[in-house]
Amino acid sequence: MHFRENVSLVREVRDIVIGDVVLIAAMTMTLSGGIFYGGSSLLSSIEYVAPIVALGVTLSFILHELMHKFVAQHYGAIAGFRVSPNGLMVTLLTGLFGFLLGIPGATVIYASSFTKRQMGLVSLAGPLTNFAVFLAFLAIGILAHPARGSYLASTVGFVLFISMLLAFFNMLPVSPLDGSKVLAWDKRVYVVTMAVIFALMVLFTGISLYQVVFMVIIALMLSLFYRNVL
């Protein structure tokens, strides 16, 4: 029994590390313009961007998935992160072309009897973790007062951006994203949570309406992908 649990844990650690590394690589290439638009400056850009991306993505992605797992286990479910081979390929390929559809995998939950409330809370845990990361780095930015254009300012700015971006994207009411399960559980919780996340994203990331529409389109594509239509 313990041997099987250890093997399962080893696999989960392996999967989440692979997912994180692939997502970091894809996001770095996206921010650097991709292989066609980055040009000769791509490598030097990656050297500057990659450490910032690694911190932001790791905190926002791994903590998000782990919180899904821990809350699911709290309610008696078996849960663990699993990579998707097709998802890893899509993540890397889109990163190469300068835009990102990040679907390296997801936390898989096995439960014999989950209520809508329990599933809603498990789903809400991920975006709320991104919100906590956002607040932590907002506090760092306020307390440290990094000079505009400094490496610390860039790091804080990116973590604020990626944490709210992932929270917003995952809260879209499109299956299999977290938002669809939160909405099915409690519309009031969904509206309040989404309103706060959206307001913070607009205020602190400067995201445009075009980018919001693009994320909705990506979410719909993701829904089709996981329903085996694509």
Instruction: Find out whether 95 and 46 touch, Cβ atoms under 8 Å.
Output: no
In sequence order, what DSSP letters do the residues of 94-151 get, joined into one string?
A: HHHTT-----SEEEEEE-SS--HHHHHHHHHHHHHHHHHHHHHHHHHHHHH-PPTTSH
SS3 81: strand
The token pair that represents 106 in the structure block: 């997801």
Cα–Cα dist 55/49, whole Å:
10
Confirm whether 5 is a catalytic residue: no
Cα–Cα dist 85/19, whole Å:
10
SS3 78: strand
Catalytic member of 5, 12, 47, 65: 65
Catalogue the active-site residues: 65
